Amino acid sequence: MADDEIILSEMSDDELVQQMHDDLYDGLKEEIEEGTNILLERGWTPYDVLTKALVEGMRIVGEDFRDGILFVPEVLMSANAMKAGMFILRPLLIATGAPKLGKMVIGTVKGDIHDIGKNLVGMMMEGAGFDVIDLGINNPVEKYIEAIEREQPDILGMSALLTTTMPYMKVVIDTMTEKGIRDDFIVLVGGAPLNEEFGKAVGADAYCRDAAVAVETAKELIKRRHNRLAAGG
């Protein structure tokens, strides 16, 4: 392809944002870093760069992932490119006290060391504007409880890829119930062998089929919770 080289700094703001959506889609890390810096130099607020360039770009990636147009390796590349942009923006966002959609603690359950799906959810949630605390793999119930008491997140996310480790999710949720804190948090569960029935059976708020669904579900449940609190219920 004898395409003229794209020079990001010569583009208008709108063109550059559009190009960043394309670059995210293609998982181009350096281009995302460059685009992020150019918009900041042009006086964009970190929050606008995050929402209009990165989050919107990841929303498109998420939709195509959900519809089977993109697959896990491609989405991981997009998510890594987005992380590079987030690395630049995060300290600036913290300094400006930019609004966050919410906070999530996520981890793979005890006995399970699979983390691709979990990492993908964490990255996509971050890309949607959530604060994500990743506990990694093989988490016993104590580690989840400790993390939610320390972080006070809106959401707890648990993942499992083995049928043998799935039931451990119930152990965590039952322990939260015993401690009287179950209703303080939204609990999302996911992983290949799970399904909606299982999510209901263990007492989760929702089962999420993949990372794109996790983001949509999280946003919806947070909105509902805010509305309920606003209504004083």
180 and 66 both lie in a single domain? no
Report pLDDT for 6.
84
127 and 49 both lie in a single domain? no
105 and 44 both lie in a single domain? no
Cα separation, 233 vs 228, whole angstroms: 5
Q: How many Cβ atoms are within 10 Å of 65's Cβ, its own excluded?
A: 22
Residue 3 in any domain: the answer is no
119 and 214 both lie in a single domain? yes
This prediction has a pTM of: 0.78
* Residue 185 lies in domain: 100-233
pLDDT digits (tens, 9 = 90+) for 174-218: 999 999 999 999 999 999 899 999 999 999 999 999 888 999 999
Give one DSSP letter per residue of the chain, joined into a string: --PPPP-GGGS-HHHHHHHHHHHHHTT-HHHHHHHHHHHHHTT--HHHIIIIIIIHHHHHHHHHHHTTSS-HHHHHHHHHHHHHHHHHHHHHHHHHT---SEEEEEEEBTT----HHHHHHHHHHHHTTEEEEE--SSB-HHHHHHHHHHH--SEEEEE--STTTTTHHHHHHHHHHHTT-GGGSEEEEE-TT--HHHHHHHT-SEEESSHHHHHHHHHHHHHHHHHHHHTT-
Task: Answer with the one of 99, 132, 151 that is the final residue of a domain.
Answer: 99
81 and 104 both lie in a single domain? no
- Total structural domains within the chain: 2
Report pLDDT for 2.
42
90 and 122 both lie in a single domain? no
Residue 189 in any domain: the answer is yes
What percent of the chain has a predicted confidence (pLDDT) above 70?
Answer: 98
- Contact indicator for 98, 147 with CB cutoff of 8 Å: no
Where is average pLDDT lowest: 10-19, 71-80, 147-156, 189-198? 71-80
Reply yes or no on whether the pLDDT at 1 is more than 60: no
113 and 92 both lie in a single domain? no
Residue 1 in any domain: the answer is no
110 and 85 both lie in a single domain? no
Task: Answer with the one of 99, 117, 135 that is the final residue of a domain.
Answer: 99
What percent of the chain has a predicted confidence (pLDDT) above 90?
Answer: 72
146 and 82 both lie in a single domain? no
pLDDT digits (tens, 9 = 90+) for 29-71: 999 999 999 999 999 999 899 889 998 999 899 889 889 999 9
Task: Answer with the one of 78, 99, 120 that is the final residue of a domain.
Answer: 99
